[in-house]
């Protein structure tokens, strides 16, 4: 595919947004002229150590202070964590005060987000937790899908400064928002487009601590999907709604695996056989690594759990309204899942494998109604509640703000362009069908 029209706001726009949000603009800084450089030696020297395998904090500190002092330090450290059970490789920074190299403090990096800071005082050591500072920024991205959604998002130049693992998490967010509307592994088409506004907390090293999609839009085969975050009680327990305030949730997830776990995402070539095989054997096969978590697609009761001929290890769940779902070729079952277990949508029930008649690790998923297989994509049963009536005014205000953010992103929402793409593809196809 040589065509490239991946759009989106570049880093300059994100910078502009950040500047607009700060209270002091560049133009307000008074001109003080050129100053001479001042040389000031650092007041502190640091030595950084890495905890060895099986090594305790006390062992690492042996010889740096008296036994009494070390006991005081470990006692203080114990208020936050066990000095004997620490991750190998934990970074420990010893901070010395110049000029006489007096040990004044020790930082123990417990995780990427928390450091135990130990400070030496006149009566011994004290400690406190220091959180790694983060800043919040808003990411605007858009793009056109040239092969599969995965490549379109991971390869988006706007996200170039983002670690790959964070871009993967971004896809997880998109998948979780659209998991009831669009099966990214089966329904995405070349020429589909997306836009999203993502708010994230970023660490000093550029990695993401947490994030949330504020608004997302997907044009899939000419159909426009929106998901707008709304949190009525401001307690983080919000949800996603379409433009009319209807919940995006449905009674069934379209797919029992997270999109990013599906192997076929990597190539378009493996994507189409999945579609074709549905007609051949009345189920959907998802290639995934052995051990990948398999989720119940809807609330229900387990009616089969065990060996079932060519299906191998399989689970069947009965749902309201005569629906049954079947999950086959599992390597193993989730502990506690037996006949009679009540499950909720999204609960893990087992793990991908190749038991029974299977040539490779994959999940065979079937949906039945009144004993007949149906295509999971054909079921559209609303499940979530709409925006509560009493929150309607606030919803409208927030929806409009989030939509205007989304609409500020160029390159998205091109229903008209999508049609053009389809026509181009049709011409290409026609050209390829010519008899010579
Ligand atoms: Zn199958």
Q: In what order do the strands lie in the sheet with 332-333?
A: 293-295, 348-351, 332-333
Show the domain range for 264.
259-378
- The answer to the question of residue 236 being in a domain is yes
Instruction: Output the domain CATH number for residue 340.
Output: 2.70.70.10
pLDDT at 181 over 70: yes
Ligand 1 centroid to Cα of residue 362, in Å, is 8
For residues 117 and 210, membership in a common domain is answered with: no
pLDDT (0 to 100) of residue 24? 31
pLDDT (0 to 100) of residue 401? 93
**Cα–Cα distances in Å, from 76 out to 89, 94, 113, 169, 229?**
21, 16, 20, 37, 43
Other residues' Cβ atoms within 10 Å of the Cβ of residue 145 = 23
Average pLDDT over residues 120-139: 88
Ligand 1 centroid to Cα of residue 197, in Å, is 37
Whole-structure pTM value: 0.68
- The answer to the question of residue 307 being in a domain is yes
- The answer to the question of residue 344 being in a domain is yes
d(CA 274, CA 283): 10
For residue 99, is the peptide bond before it cis, meaning its omega torsion is within 30 degrees of 0?
Answer: yes
Ligand 1 centroid to Cα of residue 408, in Å, is 43
- The answer to the question of residue 331 being in a domain is yes
**Cα–Cα distances in Å, from 95 out to 8, 46, 276?**
45, 5, 64
Least confident of 57-66, 242-251, 320-329, 339-348: 57-66
For residues 197 and 224, membership in a common domain is answered with: yes
pLDDT at 428 over 50: no
pLDDT (0 to 100) of residue 264? 55
pLDDT tens per residue across span 395-406 = 999 999 999 999
pLDDT tens per residue across span 269-320 = 333 344 444 445 678 888 899 999 999 999 999 999 999 998 999 999 999 9
Ligand 1 centroid to Cα of residue 223, in Å, is 29
Which one has a higher pLDDT value, 264 or 306? 306
Most confident of 141-155, 185-199, 310-324: 310-324
Average pLDDT along the chain: 80
For residues 160 and 237, membership in a common domain is answered with: yes
d(CA 215, CA 413): 13
Ligand 1 centroid to Cα of residue 183, in Å, is 17
For residues 243 and 275, membership in a common domain is answered with: no
Rg (CA), the chain: 28
- ∠ Cα 264 269 274 (to 5°): 55
Total domain count, the chain: 3
Ligand 1 centroid to Cα of residue 363, in Å, is 7
For residues 110 and 168, membership in a common domain is answered with: no
For residues 113 and 143, membership in a common domain is answered with: no
For residues 207 and 298, membership in a common domain is answered with: no
Percent of residues, the chain, with pLDDT higher than 70: 80
Ligand 1 centroid to Cα of residue 170, in Å, is 29
Domain limit, last residue, from 72, 99, 131:
131
- The answer to the question of residue 9 being in a domain is no
Ligand 1 centroid to Cα of residue 49, in Å, is 52
- The answer to the question of residue 66 being in a domain is yes
- The answer to the question of residue 30 being in a domain is no
pLDDT tens per residue across span 43-89 = 778 888 888 888 889 998 888 888 988 999 999 999 998 888 888 88
- The answer to the question of residue 37 being in a domain is no
d(CA 428, CA 424): 6
pLDDT tens per residue across span 31-45 = 445 555 555 555 778
For residues 145 and 191, membership in a common domain is answered with: yes
Report residue 296 as tokens: 């119940």
Ligand 1 centroid to Cα of residue 285, in Å, is 5
């Amino acid at each position: 595919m040589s065509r490239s029209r991946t759009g989106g706001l570049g880093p300059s726009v994100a910078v502009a947004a950040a500047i607009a949000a700060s209270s002091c603009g560049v133009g307000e800084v008074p001109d003080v002229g050129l100053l001479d450089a001042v040389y000031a030696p650092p007041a502190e020297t640091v030595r950084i150590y890495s905890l060895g395998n099986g090594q305790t904090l006390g062992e690492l500190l042996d010889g740096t202070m008296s036994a009494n002092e070390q006991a005081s330090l470990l006692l203080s450290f114990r208020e936050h964590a066990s000095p004997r059970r620490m991750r190998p490789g934990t970074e420990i920074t010893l901070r010395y005060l110049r000029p006489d190299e007096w040990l004044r403090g020790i930082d123990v990096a417990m995780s990427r987000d928390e450091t135990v800071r130990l400070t030496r005082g006149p009566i011994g050591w004290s400690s406190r937790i220091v959180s790694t500072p983060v800043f919040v920024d808003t990411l605007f991205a858009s793009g056109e899908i040239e092969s599969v959604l995965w490549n379109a998002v991971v390869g988006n130049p706007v996200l170039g400064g983002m670690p790959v693992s964070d871009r993967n998490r971004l896809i997880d967010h998109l998948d979780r928002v659209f998991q009831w509307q669009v099966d990214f592994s089966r329904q995405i088409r070349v020429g589909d487009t997306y836009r999203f506004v993502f708010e994230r907390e970023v660490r000093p090293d550029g990695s993401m601590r947490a994030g949330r999609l504020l608004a997302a839009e997907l044009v899939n085969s000419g159909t426009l999907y929106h998901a707008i975050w709304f949190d009525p009680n401001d307690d983080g327990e919000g949800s996603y709604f379409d433009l009319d305030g209807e919940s995006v949730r449905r009674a069934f997830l379209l797919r029992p695996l997270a999109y990013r776990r599906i192997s076929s995402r990597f190539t378009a070539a493996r994507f189409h056989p999945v579609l074709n095989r549905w007609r051949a054997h009345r189920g959907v096969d998802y290639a995934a690594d052995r051990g990948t978590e398999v989720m119940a697609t809807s609330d229900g009761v387990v009616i089969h759990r065990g060996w079932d001929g060519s299906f191998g290890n399989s689970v069947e769940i009965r749902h309201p309204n005569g629906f049954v779902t079947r999950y086959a070729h599992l390597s193993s079952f989730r502990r506690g899942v037996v006949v009679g277990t009540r499950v909720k949508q999204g609960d893990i029930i087992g793990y991908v494998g190749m038991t029974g008649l299977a040539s490779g690790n994959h999940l065979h998923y079937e949906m039945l109604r009144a004993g007949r297989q149906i295509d999971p994509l054909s079921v559209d049963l609303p499940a979530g509640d709409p925006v509560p009536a009493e929150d309607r005014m606030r919803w409208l205000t927030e929806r409009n703000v989030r939509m205007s953010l989304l609409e500020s992103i160029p390159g998205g929402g091109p229903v008209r362009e999508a049609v053009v793409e389809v026509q181009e593809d049709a011409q290409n196809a026609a050209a390829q069908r010519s008899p010579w």
